[in-house]
């Protein structure tokens, strides 16, 4: 017996390791693949900008539509994308402190008037400097990229690099692919492109002479210094400011999934955990009913197939079993929806959903029968889909294990004792044959979660599967990760649970 | 004819699969120096497999279908197998076939023929359908083309003479003609010369076509899985044109009687009649077609929209009511009276016609003209149909982008089965290697790999593929590799590991090791052949799983690229049109279920033949 307990202890120990590896894998894949929330936002903005009679861009705003660098940084901080992947992962787990920011409210300011007066004056100093900088930038047609100032190439530059300019003009006239080639060529030269203008960083001479470039450079440095001073001042009280003038309390705290913080869903704008919890019961309802239904069908069918092994009934029902194996559950749902959904054939069931929209109203009006009928009609097709999924394997499992038991010695003994056939089959043999099926409960927990993507999509059930599917399409990271966490945990514990149940109810089984 | 050819192709497929491929296999391995010995045990198993009829027949069907489907490009394609024009010959479909067989070199043969090389003026790719039409009927197809060119030439020469006149006028007035005028004149003269050459050529081209020096040889079915068929009437998806009970929508026919006195929206209305009320429902659109009754029709004169309809009783009642008014002519003034009389007459004629043609159940209706071909009149007693296809025009309908469903299903079969075979084959290679290493060496290798598999097996693979596929569009091979890496190798590994453990303990293996045979050789030569049984007997079942996996991924939109024909995407389209176009769900479901059912039957037979379980009977 002790061998078994070490076996399960080892399995349990492996759970956290597996969990960490899988979540890290998915976390890394999510972060490494392009198309995150910021890109999605930018695409939306670009689409919107394209809609507005997109005239000539190429001004100071960069290449039309997108976010400027400052805004992108802000968003990165907001979505915690500014951290390196391993660190961000640890923060998401909740074993590394995460910087959280909460806005400063007016009441806070009233408590420390002196401090806030100082901050305010520092802020205005920065603001005035920043406006001055903006004015200079516009005047000199510069661009600011990070901490360098870019200006359009001058006449002397053109003369020095005539071949490059000619090539660039040629490439500029070409399509999109030649543009990227052009960008590479410019980059070799240390230049960059803004619309159709070629930019380069200010040279050291330009920074020193007393013209517009130098003044801009000086202004930029002093503005940065002002901003740093403001931040340093705020840091004393554990606060910070962004460049738009919002002040935040900064807190370093452990706040990850271990603490129950799954983040905020981008699409629902709610706590991810709340979203998931609200979908849970619906999935469980359909999964459980489907599972029970397949028990009710498969066990009797398996028994009668075993009793009439190789008989006509066995052969005929085998066709059904094979068909069940050959049809994926969601395909069966689709087929039934076409046949019964009120299209070209019969109109018996609704086209999916959990229940009708007026259900609650009916319930409060006391039309309970109508409510029950409605619920049943919504349940039928998904139930059938889940049933088809496990129908074939469960029936065959039941039949085979019963047949195996028929050959066992104890059955022969029972017959020899003179027991009736019914008693031998249904009391002695059946009890032992049910063991493998009972043990499947744990696996079922995992299946309920993973296999439901398709059925929930086809039947439009607002459960976990549909949530996971939609979150992937919308790249809603917190929800994707939260469904992953629950899915993996349930599956891992479910598998162990299955083996444990098996070991407990079947003394012949030895794990080691 | 086509039917017979199809049967012959299928028979050839069976023959090729059952005789040709084993022979080829033996010949190649003989050339390479392998000798094939089947052990008596294996022979016994094969015999047993063959004796299970349903499994063996399914095996023959599925494998023959697959081998036949390898030649699909020359059987079902929208390009002809061969086209010939004068000295030029091309084999477009064969080229396609070669391209898809040499998939690893990415399209080595160019995919189009220049139009000008095959007698149709112009620089673009040749339109095979137009070419084929000309080959079929050179005289009538050339008439309009030549006429058009001649008209063009006439217009152009008129224009030139006008310009010349203008220039002469200007010169006469002593003014300098503008530069563009002269340039235009020059260009027009050039064009005229070109047109002359074209028309001269047209004669010789026509001669080539008419003398039978051009020919075209089509595959069995002339539509492929990539070219859409939006030239069909109506909007995609089209319902099947083959009358399949339950799937083909109800097509009704009616008879056009005559134009009525009234109009609707400035266009004339027509009286129509049909056999029963169901075929004349208001809102129904009819094609007015020309032609004799039993021929397949493709000539459309126009479209009618049915506005109202009434049965014989209603019509009789209307006539009787009007008759009452007519019986008291003094209450009506002259104009109204004559109008009523003419209406009564036409109604009576309509009623007589209906009773004569369809009897008491007949139905009459008024339809307005939606469209009419230019310069064509609607004939009295013309035919009205809701479709005007011959039943084999688009036998299984089209998908939502107008792609023919029949080739989609056939090519989808090939891609699904090929996919499952690839995933299974690669998975077996990886799985057997890993399992062999684990079982043979045991110890830490075994433990580490076991832990790895335990962890790897818990990765939610559908989830991961969906995440990755939502960013990069995976192709066929990428999907295969995903599925192999994430899933297919693991189950095999465990079985092989167990078998290797068991076999390694046996004397013959120990003897082989003792005589100094290398580890690798022991594994491959001695243990592996004895441990393949459980792996082989579960192969068909995993096959089913991989096909389902591909269909699921395609259904969710994370599978093959949209240009590839696939069952899953067809299902998804059916899901979009769930209530309107049941054929988009029912047909792929049927294809899927039948294929997988056959594979399951094979699996059952293989399991029974290779791994028989003898259960004691109860009695």
Supply the pTM of this predicted model. 0.79
The minimum CA-CA distance between A329 and chain B, rounded to whole Å, is 10
Q: Is B486 on the interface with A (CB under 8 A)?
A: no
In this structure, what DSSP letter does residue B293 have?
Answer: T
Mean pLDDT across A177-190: 75
Q: Which helix (H) or strand (E) holds B24?
A: helix B21-32
Q: Is B548 on the interface with A (CB under 8 A)?
A: yes
Q: Virtual CA dihedral for A476, A479, A484, A485, nearest 10 degrees?
A: 140
- Among residues B423, B443, B452, the alpha carbon closest in space to that of B559 is found at B423
Over residues B338-382, the pLDDT tens digits come to: 888 888 888 888 888 888 888 888 888 888 887 777 777 787 777
Tokens of A25: 């894998």
User: In degrees, to the nearest 5, what angle opens at C-alpha A213 toward C-alphas A211 and A215?
Assistant: 70
Output the CA–CA distances (angstroms, integers) from residue B60 to B13, B50, B591, B598, in the order listed.
10, 10, 17, 10
- Residue B442: pLDDT band (50, 70, 90) is confident
**A450 contacts in chain B (CB < 8 Å):** 460, 462-463
Contacts with A, B 599-618, CB within 8 Å: 599-601, 604, 613, 615-618
- Bond from prior residue into B237 cis (ω within 30 degrees of 0): yes
- State the CB neighbour count (10 A cutoff) for residue A257: 18
Nearest residue of chain B to residue A472 (CA atoms): B467
- Residue A300: pLDDT band (50, 70, 90) is very high
Q: Are A181 and A171 in contact (CB under 8 A)?
A: yes
In this structure, what DSSP letter does residue A211 have?
Answer: S
**A404 contacts in chain B (CB < 8 Å):** 615
Q: What is the ipTM of this complex?
A: 0.77
- State the CB neighbour count (10 A cutoff) for residue A65: 18
Nearest residue of chain A to residue B452 (CA atoms): A18
Query: How do beta strands A98-103 and A247-253 pair?
Result: antiparallel
Tokens of A66: 């997108």
Helices in B33-174 by DSSP H: which ranges?
A: 40-51, 53-69, 72-75, 92-101, 128-136, 138-172
Tokens of B466: 């969906």
Over residues B40-57, the pLDDT tens digits come to: 888 888 898 899 898 999
The minimum CA-CA distance between A491 and chain B, rounded to whole Å, is 8
Q: Is B245 on the interface with A (CB under 8 A)?
A: no
Instruction: Show Cβ contacts of residue A200 under 8 Å, excluding neighbours closer than 6 positions.
Output: A150, A151, A153, A157, A189, A190, A191, A192
Over residues A433-486, the pLDDT tens digits come to: 888 888 777 777 766 665 578 888 998 888 888 888 888 888 888 888 888 888
The minimum CA-CA distance between A307 and chain B, rounded to whole Å, is 7
- Among residues A87, A89, A75, the alpha carbon closest in space to that of A41 is found at A75
Q: Are B365 and B256 in contact (CB under 8 A)?
A: no
Q: What is the reported pLDDT for A64?
A: 44
Contact A322 B604 (CB under 8 A): yes
The minimum CA-CA distance between A177 and chain B, rounded to whole Å, is 20
Q: Is B337 on the interface with A (CB under 8 A)?
A: no
Residue B61 has pLDDT above 90, yes or no: yes
**B472 contacts in chain A (CB < 8 Å):** 33
Helix (H, G, I), strand (E, B) or coil at A511: coil
Contact B599 A326 (CB under 8 A): yes
Tokens of B125: 């790719």
Q: Are A402 and A338 in contact (CB under 8 A)?
A: no
Over residues A225-284, the pLDDT tens digits come to: 888 888 787 777 777 777 776 777 777 778 888 888 888 888 888 888 999 888 888 888
**A17 contacts in chain B (CB < 8 Å):** 455
- Residue A61: pLDDT band (50, 70, 90) is very low
- Mutation for testing the A interface, residue in B600, B601, B612 having most A CBs under 10 Å: B600
Nearest residue of chain B to residue A307 (CA atoms): B618
**B550 contacts in chain A (CB < 8 Å):** none
- Mutation for testing the B interface, residue in A338, A398, A415, A433 having most B CBs under 10 Å: A338
Residue A59 has pLDDT above 50, yes or no: no
Least confident of A1-5, A130-134, A290-294: A1-5
**A488 contacts in chain B (CB < 8 Å):** 458, 460
**A491 contacts in chain B (CB < 8 Å):** 458, 460
Q: Which residue has the tokens 């976010």?
A: A67
Question: What is the residue-averaged pLDDT of chain B?
Answer: 83
Q: What is the reported pLDDT for A298?
A: 92
Over residues B235-285, the pLDDT tens digits come to: 778 888 888 887 777 777 788 887 877 777 777 888 888 887 777 777 777
Tokens of B207: 């001669």
Contact B578 A341 (CB under 8 A): yes
Instruction: Show Cβ contacts of residue B388 under 8 Å, excluding neighbours closer than 6 positions.
Output: B233, B287, B289, B297, B298, B300
The minimum CA-CA distance between A42 and chain B, rounded to whole Å, is 16
- Mutation for testing the B interface, residue in A323, A344, A345 having most B CBs under 10 Å: A344
The minimum CA-CA distance between A140 and chain B, rounded to whole Å, is 41
Over residues B509-556, the pLDDT tens digits come to: 888 888 888 888 888 888 888 888 888 888 898 899 999 999 999 998
In this structure, what DSSP letter does residue A343 have?
Answer: S
Nearest residue of chain B to residue A20 (CA atoms): B455
Q: How far apart are CA B450 and CA B429, in angstroms?
A: 18
Q: Virtual CA dihedral for A270, A272, A277, A281, nearest 10 degrees?
A: 90
Query: Bigger pLDDT: B587 or A358?
Result: B587
The minimum CA-CA distance between A171 and chain B, rounded to whole Å, is 28
Q: Which residue has the tokens 């063991």?
A: A435
The minimum CA-CA distance between B618 and chain A, rounded to whole Å, is 6
Q: Is B596 on the interface with A (CB under 8 A)?
A: yes
Tokens of A327: 């049809």
Residue A439 burial by Cβ neighbours in a 10 Å radius (0-12, 13-18, 19+): buried
Residue B298 has pLDDT above 60, yes or no: no
Residue A511 has pLDDT above 70, yes or no: no
Q: Is B53 on the interface with A (CB under 8 A)?
A: no
Q: What is the reported pLDDT for B616?
A: 55
Contact B589 A335 (CB under 8 A): yes
Q: Are A169 and A182 in contact (CB under 8 A)?
A: no
Q: What is the reported pLDDT for B617?
A: 52
For residue B427, list its beta bridge partners.
none
Helix (H, G, I), strand (E, B) or coil at A200: strand
Angle between helices B476-483 and B533-556 (to 10 degrees): 130
Residue B201 has pLDDT above 70, yes or no: yes
- Among residues B34, B101, B48, B44, the alpha carbon closest in space to that of B70 is found at B101
Q: How far apart are CA B286 and CA B369, in angstroms?
A: 10
Residue B36 has pLDDT above 70, yes or no: no
Taking every pair of Cα atoms in chain B, the longest distance, rounded to a whole number of angstroms, is 127
The minimum CA-CA distance between B574 and chain A, rounded to whole Å, is 9
Residue B568 has pLDDT above 90, yes or no: yes
Contact A330 B458 (CB under 8 A): no
Q: Is B83 on the interface with A (CB under 8 A)?
A: no
Over residues A6-28, the pLDDT tens digits come to: 888 888 888 888 899 889 988 88
- Among residues A290, A296, A309, A298, the alpha carbon closest in space to that of A396 is found at A298
**B467 contacts in chain A (CB < 8 Å):** 26, 29-30, 33, 472, 480
Q: What is the reported pLDDT for B414?
A: 94
- State the CB neighbour count (10 A cutoff) for residue B244: 15
Q: How far apart are CA B292 and CA B299, in angstroms?
A: 11
Q: Is B454 on the interface with A (CB under 8 A)?
A: yes
- The count of CB pairs under 8 A between chains A and B is 138
Output the CA–CA distances (angstroms, integers) from residue B568 to A328, A384, A460, B407, B564, in the order listed.
12, 20, 18, 15, 11
Query: Bigger pLDDT: B291 or B377?
Result: B377
Q: Which helix (H) or strand (E) holds B356?
A: helix B334-357
- Among residues A243, A296, A241, the alpha carbon closest in space to that of A71 is found at A243
Q: What is the reported pLDDT for A297?
A: 92
- Residue A296: pLDDT band (50, 70, 90) is very high
Contact B458 A488 (CB under 8 A): yes
Mean pLDDT across B409-418: 94
- Among residues B285, B295, B445, B270, the alpha carbon closest in space to that of B365 is found at B270
Q: What is the reported pLDDT for B11?
A: 93
Helices in A308-367 by DSSP H: which ranges?
A: 312-326, 329-340, 359-364
Q: How far apart are CA A430 and CA A303, in angstroms?
A: 8
Q: Which residue has the tokens 């159940």?
A: B361
Q: How far apart are CA B569 and CA B592, in angstroms?
A: 13
Nearest residue of chain B to residue A393 (CA atoms): B541
Contact A406 B575 (CB under 8 A): no
Angle between helices A477-505 and A2-32 (to 10 degrees): 170
Residue by residue, DSSP assigns A281-297 as: HHHHHHHHHHHHHHHHH
Contact B617 A351 (CB under 8 A): no
């Amino acid at each position: 017996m002790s061998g078994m307990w070490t076996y399960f202890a080892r399995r349990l120990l492996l759970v956290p390791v597996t969990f960490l590896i899988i979540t890290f894998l998915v976390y890394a894949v999510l972060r490494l693949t392009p198309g995150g929330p910021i890109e999605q936002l930018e695409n939306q903005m670009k689409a919107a900008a394209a809609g507005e009679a997109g005239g000539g861009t190429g001004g100071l705003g960069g290449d039309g539509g997108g976010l400027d660098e400052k805004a992108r940084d802000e968003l990165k901080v907001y979505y915690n994308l500014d951290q390196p992947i391993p660190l961000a992962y640890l923060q998401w787990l909740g074993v590394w402190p995460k910087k959280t920011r909460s806005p400063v409210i007016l009441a806070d300011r009233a408590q420390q008037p002196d401090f806030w007066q100082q901050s305010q004056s520092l802020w205005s100093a920065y603001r005035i400097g920043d406006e001055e900088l903006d004015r200079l930038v516009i005047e000199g047609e510069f661009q600011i990229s990070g901490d360098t100032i870019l200006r359009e190439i001058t006449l002397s530059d053109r003369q020095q690099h005539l071949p490059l300019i000619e090539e660039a003009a040629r490439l500029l006239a070409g399509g999109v692919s030649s543009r990227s080639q052009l960008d590479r060529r410019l980059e070799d030269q240390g230049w960059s492109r803004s619309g159709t203008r070629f930019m380069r960083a200010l040279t050291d001479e330009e920074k020193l002479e007393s013209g517009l470039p130098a003044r801009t450079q000086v202004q930029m440095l002093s503005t940065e210094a002002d901003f740093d001073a403001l931040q340093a001042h705020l840091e004393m009280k554990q606060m910070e400011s962004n460049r738009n003038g919002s002040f935040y309390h900064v807190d370093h705290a452990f706040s990850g999934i271990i603490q129950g913080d799954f983040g905020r869903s981008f699409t629902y704008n709610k706590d991810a955990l709340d979203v998931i919890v609200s979908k849970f019961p619906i999935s469980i309802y359909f999964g459980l009913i489907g599972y029970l239904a397949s028990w009710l069908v498969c066990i009797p069918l398996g028994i009668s197939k075993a009793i009439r092994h190789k008989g006509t009934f066995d052969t005929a029902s085998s066709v059904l079993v094979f068909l069940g194996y050959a049809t994926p559950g969601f395909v069966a749902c689709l087929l039934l929806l076409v046949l019964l959904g009120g299209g070209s054939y019969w109109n018996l069931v609704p086209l999916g959903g959990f229940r009708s929209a007026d259900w609650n109203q009916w319930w409060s009006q006391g039309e309970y029968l109508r409510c029950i009928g409605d619920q049943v009609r919504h349940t039928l097709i998904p139930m059938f889909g889940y049933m088809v999924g496990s129908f074939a394997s469960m029936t065959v499992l039941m039949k085979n294990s019963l047949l195996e038991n028929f050959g066992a010695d104890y059955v022969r003994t029972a017959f020899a004792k003179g027991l009736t056939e019914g008693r031998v089959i249904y009391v002695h043999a059946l009890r032992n044959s049910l063991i493998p099926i009972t043990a499947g409960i744990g696996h079922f927990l995992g299946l309920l979660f993973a296999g439901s993507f398709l059925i929930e999509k086809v039947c439009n059930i607002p459960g976990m599967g549909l949530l996971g599917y939609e979150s992937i399409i919308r790249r809603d990271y917190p929800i994707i990760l939260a469904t992953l966490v629950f899915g993996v945990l349930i599956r891992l514990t479910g598998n162990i649970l299955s083996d444990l149940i098996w070991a407990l109810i079947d003394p012949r089984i030895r794990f080691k | 004819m086509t039917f017979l050819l199809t049967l012959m192709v299928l028979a050839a497929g069976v023959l090729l699969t059952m005789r040709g491929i084993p022979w080829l296999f033996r010949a190649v391995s003989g050339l390479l120096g392998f000798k094939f010995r089947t052990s008596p045990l294996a022979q016994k198993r094969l015999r047993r497999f063959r004796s299970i009829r349903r499994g063996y027949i399914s095996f023959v069907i599925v494998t023959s279908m697959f081998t036949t489907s390898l030649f699909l490009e020359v059987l079902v394609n929208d390009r002809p197998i061969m086209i010939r024009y004068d000295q030029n010959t091309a084999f477009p479909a064969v080229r396609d076939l070669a391209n898809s067989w040499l998939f690893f070199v990415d399209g080595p043969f160019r995919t189009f023929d220049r139009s000008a090389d095959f007698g149709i003026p112009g620089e673009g790719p040749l339109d095979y359908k137009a070419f084929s039409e000309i080959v079929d009927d050179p005289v009538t197809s050339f008439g309009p083309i030549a006429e058009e060119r001649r008209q063009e030439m006439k217009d152009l020469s008129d224009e030139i003479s006008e310009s010349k006149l203008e220039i002469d006028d200007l010169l006469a007035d002593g003014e300098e003609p503008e530069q563009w005028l002269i340039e235009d004149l020059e260009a027009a003269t050039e064009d005229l010369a070109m047109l002359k050459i074209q028309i001269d050529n047209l004669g010789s081209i026509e001669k080539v076509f008419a003398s039978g020096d051009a020919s075209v040889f089509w595959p069995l079915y002339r539509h492929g899985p990539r070219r859409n068929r939006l030239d069909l009437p109506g909007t995609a998806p089209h319902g099947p044109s083959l009358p399949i009970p339950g799937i083909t929508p109800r097509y009704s026919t009616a008879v056009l009687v005559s134009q009525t006195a009234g109009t609707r929206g400035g266009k004339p209305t027509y009286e129509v009649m049909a056999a029963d009320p169901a075929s004349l429902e208001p809102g129904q659109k009819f094609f007015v077609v020309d032609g004799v009754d039993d021929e397949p029709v493709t000539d459309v004169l126009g479209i009618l929209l049915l506005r109202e309809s009434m049965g014989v009783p209603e019509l009789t009642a209307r006539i009787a009511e009007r008759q009452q008014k007519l019986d008291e002519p003094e209450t009506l003034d002259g104009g109204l009276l004559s109008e009523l009389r003419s209406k009564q007459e036409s109604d009576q004629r309509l009623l007589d016609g209906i009773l004569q043609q369809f009897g008491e159940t007949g139905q009459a209706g008024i339809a307005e003209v939606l469209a009419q071909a230019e310069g064509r009149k609607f004939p009295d007693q013309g035919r009205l149909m809701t479709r005007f296809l011959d039943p084999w025009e688009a036998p299984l309908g089209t998908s939502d982008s107008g792609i023919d469903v029949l080739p989609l299903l056939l090519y989808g079969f090939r891609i699904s089965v090929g996919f499952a075979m690839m995933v299974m084959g690669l998975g077996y290679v990886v799985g057997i290697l890993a399992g062999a290493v684990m079982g043979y060496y045991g110890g830490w290798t075994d433990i580490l790999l076991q832990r790895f598999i335990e962890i790897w097996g818990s990765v939610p693979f559908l989830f991961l593929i969906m995440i990755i596929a939502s960013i990069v569009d995976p192709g066929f091979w990428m999907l295969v590799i995903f599925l192999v890496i994430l899933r297919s190798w693991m189950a095999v590994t465990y079985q092989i590991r167990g078998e290797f453990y068991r076999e390694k303990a046996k004397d013959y293996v120990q003897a082989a090791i003792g005589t100094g045979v290398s580890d690798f050789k022991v594994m491959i030569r001695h243990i592996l052949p004895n441990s393949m049984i459980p792996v082989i007997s579960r192969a068909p079942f995993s096959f089913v799983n991989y096909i389902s996996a591909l269909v699921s991924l395609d259904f969710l939109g994370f599978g093959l690229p949209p240009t590839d024909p696939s069952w899953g995407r067809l299902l998804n389209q059916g899901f979009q049109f769930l209530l309107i176009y049941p054929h988009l769900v029912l047909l792929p479901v049927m294809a899927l279920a039948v294929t997988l059912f056959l594979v399951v039957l094979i699996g059952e037979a293989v399991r029974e033949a290779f791994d028989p379980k003898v259960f004691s009977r109860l009695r």
